[in-house]
Every structure is written in structure tokens, then in C-alpha cells.
Amino acid sequence: MSVAINIENAVKKYGDLTIIPGITEHIRNGEFFTLLGPSGCGKTTLLRMIAGFNSIEGGDILFNEQRINDIPAHKRNIGMVFQSYAIFPHLTVRQNVEYGLKLRDVPKAEMKEKVDRILDVVQIADYQDRLPERLSGGQQQRVALARAIVIHPSVLLMDEPLSNLDAKLRIEMRSAIREVQKKVGITTVYVTHDQEEALSISDRVGLMNRGRLEQVGTPLELYSAPSSLFAADFIGVNNILRGTWDGAGSFTWNGRVLRAGGNVPAGPATLTIRPEHLSPADAEDASDNVLEGVVQGKIFLGPVTRVACSIGEETLLMDLLSTDGDRLGSGQALRVCFSVKEAHLL
């Protein structure tokens, strides 16, 4: 039976070194919650605290209302999927998936029914008699996922499970993981440093920075409304304009006064604009948020071309449809504009 995870001021220390100074978060029952952040930010440490592999030096972690701080890992009823597949090379797919059920002395008929069902869910029934050496990386990861889920854990924990796969297979597998998680309805905590991966599969994302949760929200909230400069800089690509805000609609940047909106105090501030929210301005456009620049260079990214535009001593990035970006040449004068509603003030 799936559970909610309540993290209450959880602290992790190694001697005098504090890795996690105190995190509080509620992960809902059945939710796909992703811990995202750069290497060394504490996301795997927190996952291992939930799993029981790491001790907790302060605060509490609860499954529903049950405090689990002192419960050994093997008694927490968790399923774990690691970066390495960690499946037994001498056992077939079916035998690997059965392993946890055998340890729990599940009757043979019930075990067969459960294994048959999960092999179908993760779409590896056709490979059940193969040894792992005859499977692709994606198929092996499906085996690891099936083995973790078949025991009906209360929580599924996944530590960068796709990092060993090639780019195309990662995209395929993250869709499969999301689909399987929704079918079984299990509370899942997923760790990754890949922002695209996190945004594409999660119900909510917890962005970590230096052992703290910098921002928690839906993928859309993190992308469109970052709550800090770190979040704005880490999630996606952003043009970051540092200037001064008057508190009443005017933002001064590089000697230019731009129109903006936001509930931040007057004084030094930052305006962030996504490259897709910049666009070429018509010659007769005289609105406040039009900037005169020069094309510095461009990068073809498939459906879009990213154009670097010099505005004085600063460089802004603008994403255009590749057919439009192809018409621009280096050194070409260019006016760019953006709307107030597409800029985010911090």
C-alpha cells in the first residue's frame, strides 16, 4: 500500500560536516516527486535517508504517520532502482523479478500471478527466459524496475536510473517509467541532475541547492516562475538582466529603462527572459521593451535556431524557428523585443 512521505526538519551530518541542514517537505501519496539539482547538492543523500541507507541526525521522516528514523532499511517496505541495474547475471529475467517475492515466502501460484502481471506492465514478458547478457540497457533497467515494484512496496526510490543509457533510450525509458508509475499508483521519489528528465516525468520537482530545497513546485511553476536566481539559472536557459527596479513598473538595465512587473522591493533586482520569449521587433515598433542589437552568432538546434544578439556589452539569446533564424547573418543589425508578461522579476 502506497504512503505519503513526511520529511520534518531532517538533518544529515558526517561528523562536523552538515550536508543537509534541515529539510521539510510533504510528498503526497501516489505522487511522482523528483529531487533535481547539481552534483553534490544533497539529493542522493536525502534519498538514502528515506531508504534507510543513511542515518538521520535530526528531525523526522514519516511514512504516513509512522516515524521511520530507526526502522532498518529492509523493514521499510521500499523498492529501490539504482543507477547500475544491479540485476543478477546468472538468473533469467523472470528469476530476477521473482527474487524479492521468494525472500518473502510468497506462495508459488501467487508469485507467478504477480510476476506475470508486472512483466506485462513493464513490457518485458517476451524476454522472461533470457539472461541479462542478452538484454539491452533499456531492457535491463525494465527488469530492475519490475523487481522493485513486484513486491508492492510502499515507496519506490530511483537514484539516477537512466544515466547509463544513451540519449534516445533515456527519452524512451523516462516515458515508460512515468507510465508504469501511474499504472501502479505508487509514491515515487526520483533523483536526477537532468532538468529535462525531471520536467518531463514529474508531478512536482524539488530543486536542491547546497543541501536545501531551493524551490518546490510543478514543472511549469519551476520553469515559468523561478523563485530565485539559482532556480532561474539552473532550469532551462534564461537571459539574466541585472539592474534596478523602481517598484512601480520600470526596470533600468544597462542605461535602458524597460517596462516590467513584479512584487519585489524597489532596488537592485534581476529580470529573467527565456530565449523563446524574445522576438525580432518591427522597424516601426517604438515600445519600451525594444532593444537595438547586432547578431553575434547562432546555433542550429533542430526545430529552432538560437541567436546570440549583442546589446551594448551584454549578449541576449533568442530562439527562432530555424527557417527564420537561417535568414540572419553575423554582424546584422537586429531589434529585439519582449512583452512584460513574459519577463520574470526577481
The pLDDT tens digits for 15-29 are 999 999 999 999 999
> From CA 225, how far away is CA 74, in angstroms rounded?
40
Q: Which residue has the cell 499508483?
A: 185
Give the three-class secondary structure for 340: helix
100 contacts 150 by C-beta, under 8 angstroms: yes
Among 26-35, 53-62, 104-113, the minimum mean pLDDT is found in: 104-113
> From CA 183, how far away is CA 13, in angstroms rounded?
37
The string of pLDDT tens digits covering residues 150-188 is 888 999 999 998 888 888 888 888 888 898 899 889 999
Partner residues linked to 318 by β-bridges: 307
Using the predicted structure, report yes or no on whether residue 115 has a pLDDT greater than 80: yes
Identify the CA nearest to 260 among candidates 245, 275, 240, 274: 245
Using the predicted structure, report yes or no on whether residue 84 has a pLDDT greater than 70: yes
Strands 290-300, 279-280: pairing kind: unpaired
> From CA 172, how far away is CA 282, in angstroms rounded?
41
Using the predicted structure, report yes or no on whether residue 284 has a pLDDT greater than 60: no
Residue-level pLDDT at 1: 76
CB neighbour class for 29 (10 Å; exposed up to 12, middle 13-18, buried from 19): middle
Residues 278-294, mean pLDDT to the nearest whole number = 78
The string of pLDDT tens digits covering residues 261-282 is 888 999 999 999 999 999 998 7
Q: Tell me what percent of the residues of the chain surpass a pLDDT of 90.
A: 73
Q: Quickly count: other Cβ atoms within 10 Å of residue 112's Cβ.
A: 14
Among 82-86, 101-105, 120-124, 292-296, the minimum mean pLDDT is found in: 82-86
Total count of residues recorded for the chain = 346
Contacts of 14 (CB under 8 A, 6+ apart): none
Identify the CA nearest to 241 among candidates 174, 314, 189: 314
> From CA 185, how far away is CA 198, in angstroms rounded?
18
Residue 306 parent element (H or E)? strand 304-311
Grid cell of 67 as nine digits: 516515524
Q: What are the helix and strand counts (H, E) for the chain?
A: 9, 20
pLDDT tier for residue 227 given thresholds of 50, 70 and 90: very high
Residue-level pLDDT at 156: 94
pTM above 0.75, yes or no: yes
Partner residues linked to 310 by β-bridges: 294, 315
Using the predicted structure, report yes or no on whether residue 85 has a pLDDT greater than 80: no
